[in-house]
Every structure is written in C-alpha cells, then in structure tokens.
Structure 1
C-alpha cells in the first residue's frame, strides 16, 4: 500500500473509500466541515444525515457505519468512524478504529482510501496523529496465508491523508514515514513468529536477520557452532545440542551516535525457533505454538530495521542466541550441572526452563564482547507471566528506575502495555542451588520474577530491563490491528525506547 499526502484544494474525491471520523459530541455540520474544500455530494450528505438523525450511528468509540453508495464514481463507500468523546481521545483509540475501518475497506475490495485529518489536528501533535494512522493501516492489512492454496492478495493499494494547510506537509510526511516503517517492523516480527519451525530454524532466522540488515542498513555477523564453542557459551550449547539443526549466534550492529561510541544499548532476544521442552517435555497442546518461542528474537530484528531506517541517534547492538530445544540421547537432563560464558555454574532443574540459559550467555556476550552499557532482554519466557498479567501487559523486571521510566514512556506512545514486577532480594533466594551457583528454576512461586532475576545475575550491574512477552506476543483471535498468531509485540516498543534514550 502506498501512502500519500494530498492537499484538499487539489483533490477531487479520487479514492474509492472515504473515512470520516466523528466525535460523540459532533453534529452533522461539524462532520461536513472537516471536508471543507472537498465538498461531499448530495447523495453522501443525505445518507450521513439520515444515519445521524436516526441515531443508527451515534459516534461512540469503536462504532463503524459503512455506507455503500452502489455507484461507479468515487467514493463508492463511506465509512463513518466513531472515536468517542474528545476528552477521552487517545492515539491507541485512533489506531484501533482506523485499523477496524481499514479491514472493512479491504472486505469491500476497495483499492484506495482517503481520510481528512483536519478535525484531529487540534487534539495531538500532527506527526503523531499521522504516524498512528499510517502504522494502523499497515498492521491491519496483514494476514499470514502464504501456505494456503486459495490465498487472496489485498486489494488496498493507496492510502491518502488529506490536509488543508500547507505548513502541515512536513509533519505529515514525517508521520507517514515513521508510521509505515513501524508498521512494517511489526509485520516483519509477526511473519517471523508465524513461520513454522520446519521452515524457520536457527540458520533461516540468521538469514532473515542478514536480509533485514541489507535492506535496512545495519551490520550483521553470524557465528556458527564452532565459533559459539570458542566463545565458551556453554549454557547456550547445552540447550542446542540435542537438535539436528545447529545453533547460530546472530549479532546486529547499528552506530547511530558515532560521537559517543562508548554508550551502547544492547538488545537481546530469545531465539528458540522451536521448544519441545526437552526431557521435561511439554504436552502436545503446549507444543503447537512453540514455533513462536523466538518472539523476542523477532522483535529485536524488527526493532533494528526501524531504528536503522529512522536513523535513531543511539548506538544499538542486537544479539540473538538461536537454537532448538529438542530431545535426543545427548539431551541435557534435569539434575545436570552445566557451565556458562559468565563463569557461573547452573543446576538444571527443568529442561523447559531453557530460554534463560540461552539468554544468560547472550547477555554476557553483549556486555563482554560488544561492550553494551545498557541491556534489554526480551523473551517469551514464562507461562507464569500469563497467569499474572494475562495477554494484556508485558511483565518487566528491572534494576534501574530511570531505565524503566523510559520504557514506560515508550509503552504509552505505542500502547504496548508494560507492568513492573517486584525484584526483592528474597526472590533471589529461590534460585540459589545447593550444588551449583544457581539453579535454572525457582519453582512455581513467583516464576516470572525468578526467571528474570536468573538472567539478572549475569548483567554485571549494567542498567537492565527484562521483558517477558509470553502473554503479549501471541493472539488467539483477530482484533483491530492484530491478527491471530504473532502480534509483533516488542518491535515498536523497543524502537520507542531507543528514541527515548536519544533525549
């Protein structure tokens, strides 16, 4: 879909579908005024008036009214989009409502859409409004159907954002660019998560990162199993060794602030392309979606594309330790004591607590070898976080208040909700081992917290955030700008976190 900005004065109702946003306190004349300079014909005018007079459409948040005009000239359809009361207006409310309208336009096989933003400009920054509309349209017009024999391509080709004032053009162009790139980053993340494990293994994930690096402009280096062994990434290799698919360490580098080379933000994503649970095997129902256990890795790759394309003024390194957790005669076992790149010994309590083993070596690598000064790890780590927070919010463990505050600010921009979990010293007692330095599971109590704190034992006092996206990275049904399957959680959030760190 091509996004364009067009001046109302030179625009002639060219799009097949017109979106008109209405606030709950708006009247008919206000609705028409937003198309000042782009008059609506009598047929549209009378139908909108009928809808409002009959109270079939009362402009409440989330309400859509589709008006089919059954004619050849444009517009052929008008979609009235209710956004509720002005005092309750938020960017995410706009994002969700535009996404719903885009899906309705796609159902009618529309090729082009237009929306006049003039009635929204007074409520928030123009570039934020346009960014939100653009990313919503990109994310809504997505489906994972490449393996279906009857797949149908989207008909949507053009999205026009209309404006009246010439001095708005620069901010509109900026908003479109940022919104489209963020939407595409989300889509890339979703697609990687949705790919089945027989198609996307560690080698293929590494190739996907390489491709993203070439297209976006960041550097990618891939370490094979021999190089990983030389790095002494012992915990990572223990998880990987039972699979016939060899592991890969993926390192992505972007230098956005060369004048301050010593400041580097490290993004570490969990990259389990399939997780059977190992010898602590999962039930069949629990394995069906385990192709998604690399959601953190996908989010880091997606974020790196946006960070690079939008030229964030921060140095960023992304690292993914990618492998499969499978079963074989050489599987690591509950009761084993294994090593780690950081030198700590680990008692294996549960082979299905494998993600944290790969992550601690990746975190140690990014600090020791890439010299990261701040670290974020993002992972589909625990079922416990779903019990605690459901699928609404990402659980966060942090050791630095300032860093977490920046994450909170980022989450409000993209509306990927986060919730900080406590990290009291008492919880650390649960991961102490009688026979090794640590154990990889603290049991059922506070499972999300102890999993995060296990990783925290390897961050060497660097400012650190642990994001558990087990609940937010996967959707069981379609909704507004999300689709069933991978949600792309984390990609936009990490980008906005990096932008917060520019300040």
Structure 2
C-alpha cells in the first residue's frame, strides 16, 4: 500500500503484503533523483510519453544506487509502486514533491519511505573536505556547494521524519546518497518536541541511523562520493550537534516557573557533569553578593524587581590544555522571564518571553557541542541570569545606574533590560579572561525581526574577518547570519542628557542602536553581537525545524568553533 503525506491510495499496491501491527515498526528511507530536464524542446518531444500504463511509462526520476539495491531485494515491488504514482506526482524526484510511503514491500522493513532528492550532485562532499582547508569565505565555491548539499539533506530528512511519525515509527534507517550530517540534523531537529509537561502525549521521537553503503555505493550519474566510514561519522556528528541545539530549545521552551536562574544552572550542570568530574570543564555559578562585589550595577538593577535569585554562570573549557591561553568568550543574555518590568509588555504573547534567555541557552549548548566533540580550543561561556519583573523594588524609567565599567546609564525603558545585563557581562568577561574574540548572543530586539523576519539572525561586528567566518558557519548550518551596520547616527542616538549613555535610541533602527549600546562596553577588536530575537520561535513547523523555540545559532557557533580550532589562536588585542 502506498501513502502520500498521510493519504492512502490504491494506485500502487504492487507487491504489497499485510503485516502484523504488533511487530515493531521500522522505516527504511531511500531516495530518487529528479530527472534532468531536456536541453531542447526537440529532445523533450522525442521522449514524449507513448503510454499511460504505470508498468510501461518511463520513470520521471533517476534511481539512486541504494534505491536500486533495495528494489532488487524487494523483487521490483518498490519501483513498481513508485512508478504507479507518477500520474499524481509527475515531478517526483524533486524535493518539493516530498515523500512516498510504501507499506509491506520490503522483506526486512515494515515501511519504505522514498524521498525526492532533487538533482544529483556532481560531487558529494564530506564535512572534512571543506574543514581541512579552513574555508571561511561564504562565497567560496566549496563552502557554497557543501552548504547546498547540507540544506538538501536536512530538508529531505525532515520530510522522511514526518512520514515516519505518521506511521508511528520507532526507528528510521537512512540509505540515501546525501550528506550524512545533514540527514541526521534534519531528522533530529524536525522531530524535537517538549513533552515533559504533557503526559497525555504518548508520541515518541524515533531513533535514527544510517547505512554506510548509502554513499559508498555511489550516487546516480557516477558521482564522486565520500569514503567508507565517513558517512557514519558525519551522521553521528549531526546527531550530536542537533542534540545540542535541541537542548537549547528545551531550555528556552520550558515554562519559566520550571526554568528559573537556579534551575537553569542546575539543568546545565547536569549536562556538563561528566566533563566537570574529569576536570575538562570548570563550572561556577555566582550569587547576588558576588555581583555586588564586582559592582555590576546594571545587572543588579534589572534583577532587583524579582524575588527570584540571580545567578551569574561561568563555564570554562580548556581544550588546548593551556589555561593561560587567551580564550574565545561567548556571552549569552539570560533573562529567564521578561515581563518588561515597569515598562510592562502587552499580555498577548508574553508567555513566549520564557525564551528570553535564548542567548544563554544557545551559548551553553554550543559549548556543550565543542566539549563533546573534544575540540582543541579554549572557550569560556558567561551568562548573567535573572528575571525582569515589575514590583515595588523594580528599576523605574528615568533611573540612572552605574555599570561595572564605570559608565552611567539612563534607563529610559525597563524593557530594554537585556543590554543592561550584557553590558556588565561583557565588561567582566574581558577583564577576567582577556579573550582573543568575544561574541554575545541575545534575543535583544523586536526590531531585528522587522528587518530580517525569521530568515536570518542579525550579525554586528567590528571585525570583517570574524564576520566572514561566522557567516560561513551559518551558511553551512542552514542557519544564516546577516551582516548589519552600526552607523555613527546610531551611536549618537543613545546619548543622554544626564548620564553617559541611554538604554534606548531614537529615530528607529532599534537593533542597530542596541548594538551601538553594547559596543560602548567592548574593548576587543574582535567582537560580534548576534541578535536572535527574530529567529527565536516558530509558530508552526518551518523548513526542517519543528514548531516552538528554535535554539538557532547553536550549530553555527559549533561550526565556527570547529573552524577556529584548526587555526592558530591569535594574540589578544584591545583598543589603544
């Protein structure tokens, strides 16, 4: 029996057989390439169809090597079933046509999902191909080719996973000539869901695996493929990176009464505990008294409106083995719930503000990926955690606070609190660790969503090379960063009459004025600010991502750190 996105049809019952539903469900995912379009109209007419019989009609697709192997094992049942559906899917093989689900046509698998793979690539690139050369240019041909193949694999895997979940599959085995890392990432990211607070939801996320012969057997058209073992390693790497992003999603998605600053710290510590025990990672959570000793006036001002204790988290990973080396520092905004404070937000959609610690979730999860991969790199994560709530003790519009840097800040709007806590975190991180590069990640402004929607996160940087590397990493992850400007007008707009700076700008450009504010607290010549507010949440499944908090920017940062680990670590630089 054949199924199209949940719709069962009798058009392709060739070779189908009944099976017991008591048997554990298992899905095999294979694919076909789109048939190349004729170069000339004359060629098209020469190959015009002469019969409408499914048995004799020319295939509208090109079988992959793995498809042919499994079709032979099925006695031709798979190809007969797929060919029979061509009348309803004349462009089958294109990714946009999706998947066809066959039931009982394979002697070893209960279901076979056949996906359209698009046009066959000339060369199937392994992650090592571009990584070994430390490619950092987003326009580099190798980077662009691999990025396209990764995107294709993620998209196809998401469609396969949707089909597998429709038949309540417990496990999915991929045998497709696609990028292994892309397949596993697409499968894991598209199937993620937070079920901890919904016991009535009995659905389970399938497990995923890959058959090495998918690429070793070769792709259609004699394509060059990766060697034996590389596909499996790439697939496992993808499962790892996707699990880290899904961890960030879980942190951000969890209701704020179950994800306070203290619970955030405890939850993250559990993930790092095996590495803490081995002294690979140093994990420290500071309290209010410590923040007062550091004179973090901006951070403390935001936290003073809530009874929930703040936590300032530091995680230090010395993958190079040299604790004196200048590290990369990742700073994440950690507002575990943002009501707006006295400048309170509208009630509609306020529940999503449980995810306002998305920056903190991303940076701790990205570091988790680097640690699990064993990257020989030195990285420190710093996350100021607190709530932003209205109360009799809350900071008020018009108040002036003194930051750790000594600069005074007029608080024009208490809902522009993220930049306040980041200001002190940036100052502390630079003083304590003297990093060679510092990157902050934050759900900082609604303005970035106006500018970019959910297509890309906004990237601000004072270093062209750093910006280029981050953009290349984002392209490979199918999670792009778009470069944004900080003009002098943005810097001028945050001036204050009676303080050094003000926490809001004027005349629009909200994401740019927020970045200009953070820039005031940056001494490093290698700094980037990533505004993920526009990509924080999906109301519905989008691309290869399931609905909900996205954890976006996690995998690009892991990729960036992997690239960085292959380069000589530069000496720390500061402004003169």
Deviation at residue 108 of structure 1 after TM alignment: 0.4
Q: Please say if 1:209 is aligned against 2:259.
A: no
Structure 2 distance, partners of 1:155, 1:236, is 39
Q: Of residues 95, 99, 102 in structure 1, which corresponds to 2:154?
A: 95
Q: Please say if 1:408 is aligned against 2:471.
A: yes
Match of 1:452 in 2: 515
Deviation at residue 44 of structure 1 after TM alignment: 1.9
Higher Rg of the two aligned structures: 2
Q: Of residues 387, 397, 421 in structure 2, which corresponds to 1:334?
A: 397
Deviation at residue 480 of structure 1 after TM alignment: 4.1
Q: Please say if 1:85 is aligned against 2:148.
A: no
Match of 1:23 in 2: 33
Deviation at residue 447 of structure 1 after TM alignment: 0.6
Q: Please say if 1:135 is aligned against 2:194.
A: no
- Using a 3 Å threshold, how does the CA distance of structure 1 residues 160 and 90 change in structure 2: closer, same or farther? closer
Residue deviations 1:332-358 (CA, integer Å, cap 9, x gap):
111111001111110111000000000
- Using a 3 Å threshold, how does the CA distance of structure 1 residues 317 and 155 change in structure 2: closer, same or farther? closer
Q: Please say if 1:34 is aligned against 2:93.
A: no
Gaps of 5+ in 1: 1-13, 121-128
Q: Do the aligned partners of 1:57 and 1:65 also contact (CA within 8 Å) in 2?
A: no
Q: Do the aligned partners of 1:62 and 1:83 also contact (CA within 8 Å) in 2?
A: no
Alpha-carbon RMSD across the aligned residues, in angstroms, is 2.2
Deviation at residue 53 of structure 1 after TM alignment: 6.5
Gaps of 5+ in 2: 1-23, 37-58, 122-144, 218-225, 568-576
Residue deviations 1:264-313 (CA, integer Å, cap 9, x gap):
11100000000111111111014121101000000011101101011122
Q: State the TM-score, normalized to the length of structure 2.
A: 0.79
Q: Of residues 397, 400, 422 in structure 1, which corresponds to 2:485?
A: 422
Structure 1 distance, partners of 2:362, 2:64, is 42
Q: Of residues 216, 238, 245 in structure 1, which corresponds to 2:301?
A: 238
Deviation at residue 71 of structure 1 after TM alignment: 6.9
- How many positions carry a matched residue from both structures? 481
Q: Please say if 1:470 is aligned against 2:533.
A: yes
Q: Please say if 1:51 is aligned against 2:85.
A: yes
Q: Please say if 1:76 is aligned against 2:110.
A: yes
Residue deviations 1:133-178 (CA, integer Å, cap 9, x gap):
1122221221112211311141623523231749833312321231
Structure 2 distance, partners of 1:451, 1:482, is 28
Match of 2:124 in 1: none
Q: Of residues 257, 261, 265 in structure 1, which corresponds to 2:320?
A: 257
Match of 1:66 in 2: 100
Match of 2:201 in 1: 151
Match of 2:249 in 1: 190
- Using a 3 Å threshold, how does the CA distance of structure 1 residues 182 and 439 change in structure 2: closer, same or farther? same
Deviation at residue 243 of structure 1 after TM alignment: 0.2
- Using a 3 Å threshold, how does the CA distance of structure 1 residues 54 and 299 change in structure 2: closer, same or farther? closer
Residue deviations 1:360-394 (CA, integer Å, cap 9, x gap):
10111111112222110000000111111111110
Structure 1 distance, partners of 2:115, 2:519, is 46
Structure 2 distance, partners of 1:202, 1:310, is 27
Q: Of residues 341, 345, 353 in structure 2, which corresponds to 1:278?
A: 341
Deviation at residue 216 of structure 1 after TM alignment: 5.0
Q: State the TM-score, normalized to the length of structure 1.
A: 0.90
Q: Please say if 1:292 is aligned against 2:292.
A: no
Structure 1 distance, partners of 2:442, 2:435, is 18
Structure 2 distance, partners of 1:29, 1:330, is 67
Structure 2 distance, partners of 1:204, 1:140, is 26
- Using a 3 Å threshold, how does the CA distance of structure 1 residues 95 and 144 change in structure 2: closer, same or farther? same
Structure 1 distance, partners of 2:173, 2:60, is 19
